[in-house]
Structure 1
Amino acid sequence: MEKSKEQLERPPSEKPAYSIYTSDEKWFIVAVAGLAALFSPFTANIYFPAIPTIANAFNRSIEDINLTVTVYMVVQGVSPMFWGTLADRWGRRPMFNACMLILCLVCVGMALMPTNAYWLLMLLRCLQAAGSASTVALGAGVIADIAEPKERGMYYGIWNIGPMVGPCLGPVLGGVLAEGLGWRSIFWFLAISSGLCFLLILALMPETLRAYVGDGSIPPPRGYQPFIPVIGRKRKSSAPLDPSARPLRRGFINPFRLFLLPDVSLLLFFNGVVYAVFYGVTTSISTLFQDTYPYLTETEVGLCFLAIGGGMLIGGIVTGKVIDREYRRVKDQMIAASEKETDPEKKLSPEEVTKEEHFPIEKARLRLMPLYLGLFVVMC
């Protein structure tokens, strides 16, 4: 069987430790996942500059329209538990496609809805969140599928550009569209862009769930292949075709059982407080700024969100590099301590150091969290 150029260049003993994807292929997969993840905050934030305009169109108070933001955030917080569980069972690719298709269709409905149906606005905002919010969780799962723990921080940092750009670009585009073409154009824009993302995933995104494809060398089940198989095309002839080599698929796991784990609950509470403060600020900017600075147009109000979005964008990239450096620092410390160990039973090899039962992953990832939180509190 003819081998690919990459396989010929690699020594026989050198086998990828975690996945067979090349660096370029990983970046491509992360880029597509990051584009899909952009829609979660983008869909939420593009709406903010138009809140006063939509309130006038529906003849409702600002508080009533803010409730549509509240229900969006509630569904945004809950739906990833279900989509993520389904993705662990049925694969990443079909869940990405389902999320994008739902978002596209719901945005078409919002662009056409009558202004005397406030209840419909509330319902469609819930469905909109159900479609867009889970792309962040799915993207994180994709990175865990293809990247080793030691390099995930870098990939998470770059992948985070998508979710971080959303709060930066969303309000600006929302202000421009609402002022130039009316508030309905916001939802037409979302429908078109999410539809294009759906087609991109359908055409190019490979299945990465390790229960289906292992380290990427096992062909996915029928119907899971992209229409244009760009990833792994050169390796296709050498991939094993034995379906029995595929790992066992997970059964359905009740996501609410995670709340019984104290560490998970603490992390959710911590992030919940931070996001509550964040969205409390971003949701009120359009209303408060128009009252305080009445000379601002909708486009200029949208530009005011650039400060928050820009900080999130830069912070996401920098933090990804920092936590990878922290991971390497802790790993080097453990290797050095192991080399000084005189007891052979306690001595660990460099490969054993990073195993889950030995490596203090919480220390490596969260050691700087108090510093970040303190800075956040001071700035607030």
Structure 2
Amino acid sequence: MQKHSTTPTVAVSNQNNGNDAQDAAERGENRIKVPETKRPYSIYTKREKWILVIMIASSGLFSPLTANVYFPAIPTLARVFNKSVELINLTVTMYMVFQGISPMLFGTLADNVGRRLIYATCLLILCLSCVGLALVPTNAYWLLLLLRCIQSAGSASTIALGAGVIGDIADASERGGFYGIFQSGPLLGPSIGPVIGGLLAGSLGWRSIFWFLCISSGVAFILIILFLPETLRAIVGDGSIQPPIYLRPVIPILGRRKKQATGAAQDQALPPKKAFKNPFALLKHLDITILLIFNGWIVAVYYAVTATISTVFASAYPFLNETDIGLCFLSIGGGMLAGSVLSGQFLDSEYHRFLRKMYPNLDSKEAKENVRKDEKFPIEEARLRFLPAVMIIYVGCILGYGWCIEEQVHIAVPLVLHFFIGFTAIFSATCASTLCIDYVPEQSSSVTACNNLIRGSLGAMLVAVIDLMIRRLTVGWAFVLLGCLCAVMTPSVYAVIRLGPHFRAKRRAQREKQ
């Protein structure tokens, strides 16, 4: 069938016979054969994507850093505010509560009105709340509690927003590597936060902690305003569409050379506008819910380990001072850093291996295009195949760590176990979180907000009772219990691998009906 056009075009076929050419000339049109070209998922180069990932990973660090940098100052705050340690710990609990709730609001807004605006808003809230905390009078405990809640609301959402950016700029073939590096920021916070907090509180006083957070979040806010482009695909498509002026960076250096100016090109790149989506609706999908609960529990146990390092090390190794104990957090942080890099590279490698296996005769671009449409592609197996083996190591390290502390073995042994706990925790979290984004890339911020809500809730509950568990059960048996619960969660990985394709097909059918 021939396509008619009112606009003259250039014939590219040399095989038309004379009659065809004459007929075409009489109709005032020419025949045309234009090879179909596939648009890339994003206009950003690999280097530009890495710059964006490093930028958002640095911002994502604020959520756990703001929570954990506070821990060394708790005894001092109890003294200067003339309150019990339990009441000061209430500010930690409320921080974790808002850490789970606020991303549900800001993450959903980011999926609808844009990443850049919400990013700047959250960092500004964090910066201003830190100013208030640095100046709070010591006779106003209620204000300390209130400002910690506001501080949490500003800092916690940076994780969900960063995951949204990754879903915008990276397709499934490279998402694992980017998400692994991004995870290093949020999960390094519990390790380096107490070190920074202890050094600041010990040398400059407890207020210096909040001035440090104010300055660092202010710098991040300025960098976001200056350089972060809008990435929400509902607004900028693959990044080639010019967003409204209030969503543009002051210095647009990322993706600048590939921006398209014509309205026709913009219409081609822009996906259809979608209605506002309730993030809680994601929890009705069984495969997503299973992944979120699994991930939430693994991270909660990791938080229980980091939350008790100070107390159990001080008890088991009384020769350590506060600075020494703070440095002990670096081991688990090193494991996190190594795991974030290697897990991302591993996920990308596995994805490409399955890609070559499923589509051996197609080039990389055609194969990736088929994956987006083919429900038979085993994305669950590509992401989760080795996760049970990783969980065996994680559970073994948790069990061994508890008894090493219980028996007061040489300090090098629990520190080595710290490294592998950090490594396997982030490896597991990256696998589960990346698959969640693969399932709903158009709601990547919302699904990450749900992830934060569940793991924040489980983490808050576990951190609240871990000291009681240690007192009642001893350190060894407390971590045996936590390790066994992790082992019980492991079969859920096989459930997702088996049931995931069915639920993916149902979601696709629902999207096609809308």
After TM superposition, the score normalised by the length of structure 1 is 0.87
Which of residues 358, 377, 380 in structure 1 aligns to 2:395?
Answer: 377
Distance in structure 2 (CA, Å) of the matches to 1:124 and 1:150: 41
Once the two structures are TM-superposed, the CA of residue 153 in structure 1 deviates from its matched residue by: 1.0
CA drift of 1:14 comes to: 6.5
1:273/1:204 Cα in 2 relative to 1: closer, same or farther (>3 Å)? same
- The amino acid across from 2:148 in the alignment is R
What is the aligned partner in structure 1 of residue 277 from structure 2? 253
Aligned partner of 1:199 in structure 2 is 222
Cα 1:123–1:316 change in 2 (3 A) is same
Does 2:152 match 1:129? yes
Q: Structure 1 residue aligned with 2:354, among 330, 342, 359?
A: 330
Shifted more, 250-259 versus 290-299: the winner is: 290-299
- Out of 106, 111, 129, the residue aligned to residue 129 of structure 2 is 106
Farther off after superposition, 184-193 or 120-129: 120-129
Q: Deviations over 1:18-70 (max 9, x none)?
A: 11111221111112111111111211221122222222222333333333222
Deviation of 1:79 after TM superposition, in Å, equals 1.9
Confirm whether residue 59 of structure 1 aligns to residue 118 of structure 2: no
Mapping of 1:73-112 within 5 angstroms? 73-112=96-135
Aligned ranges 1:1-380 → 2 under 5 Å = 16-236=39-259, 238-241=260-263, 244-245=267-268, 246-290=270-314, 293=317, 296-335=320-359, 351-353=369-371, 355-380=373-398
Rate the CA distance shift 1:349–1:34 in 2: closer, same or farther, 3 A. closer
* 1:301–1:65 Cα change, 3 Å: farther
Task: Output the amino acid matched with 2:212.
Answer: F
1:350/1:29 CA distance change after superposition, 3 Å: closer
SS of corresponding position for 2:92? helix
8 A contact 1:89–1:249 mirrored in 2 = no
8 Å CA contact 2:191, 2:306 repeated in 1: no
CA distance in 2, matches of 1:121, 1:291: 30
Aligned equivalents of 1:22 and 1:265: distance in 2? 34
Q: Tell whether the 8 Å contact from 2:123 to 2:154 is kept in structure 1 after alignment.
A: yes
C-alpha spacing 1:31/1:356, structure 2 compared with 1 (3 Å): farther
Between the aligned residues of both structures, percent identity stands at 57
- Partner Cα separation in structure 2 for residue 36 and residue 332 of structure 1: 35
CA 1:39–1:349 in 2, change beyond 3 Å: closer, same or farther? Answer: closer
Quickly say closer, same or farther: Cα 1:59–1:288, change in 2 above 3 A. Answer: farther
CA distance in 2, matches of 1:250, 1:144: 16
Question: Are the aligned partners of 1:219 and 1:240 in contact in 2 as well (CA < 8 Å)?
Answer: no
Distance in 2 separating the partners of 1:275 and 1:265: 15
> How far is the alpha carbon of 1:257 from its aligned partner?
1.9
Cα distance between partner residues in 1 of 2:109 and 2:86: 35
Higher Rg of the two aligned structures? 2
Relative to structure 1, the CA distance from residue 19 to residue 151 in structure 2 (aligned partners, 3 Å threshold; closer, same or farther) is same
Q: Is the 8 A contact 1:109 1:124 kept in 2?
A: yes
Query: Do 2:124 and 2:218's aligned partners in 1 also have CA atoms closer than 8 Å?
Result: yes
Q: CA deviation at 1:335?
A: 2.8
The separation in 2 between residues aligned to 1:356 and 1:127, in whole angstroms, is: 44
Partner of 1:5: none
Query: Bigger relative contact order, structure 1 or 2, given CA contacts below 8 A and separation 6+?
Result: 1
Q: How far apart in 2 are the matches of 1:350 and 1:83?
A: 31
CA distance in 1 between counterparts of 2:92 and 2:212 reads: 19
Describe the shift of the 1:350–1:309 C-alpha distance in structure 2 as closer, same or farther (beyond 3 A). Answer: closer
Q: Alpha-carbon deviation of 1:290?
A: 4.2
SS of residue in 1 equivalent to 2:120: helix
| Count of residue pairs the alignment pairs up | 359
Gaps of 5+ in 2: 1-34, 399-514
User: Which residues of structure 1 form unaligned runs of 5+?
Assistant: 1-11, 340-347
Relative to structure 1, the CA distance from residue 66 to residue 356 in structure 2 (aligned partners, 3 Å threshold; closer, same or farther) is: farther
2 CA distance for matches of 1:15 and 1:275? 39
**How far apart in 2 are the matches of 1:178 and 1:169?**
14
Moved more, 362-371 or 188-197: 362-371
Q: Distance in 1 between matches of 2:375 and 2:212?
A: 48
Q: Please state how far the C-alpha of 1:244 moved relative to its aligned partner.
A: 4.7
Distance 1:351 1:91, change over 3 A: closer
Whole-angstrom distance in 2 between the partners of 1:310 and 1:374? 20
Q: Contact 2:42/2:239 (CA < 8 Å) preserved in 1? A: yes
1:280 & 1:116 partners in 2: Cα distance? 31
After superposition, the C-alpha distances for 1:222-271 in whole angstroms (9 at most, x for unaligned) are 211101111133334x4334565533333322222222222222222212
Answer with 196-205 or 126-135: which moved more: 126-135
Is the CA contact 2:98–2:149 (under 8 Å) kept in the aligned structure 1?
yes
SS in 2 for 1:234: helix
- Which deviates more from structure 2 when the two are superposed, residues 154-163 or residues 174-183? 154-163
- Report what 1:4 is aligned to: none
CA distance, structure 1, for counterparts of residue 130 and residue 48 of structure 2: 32
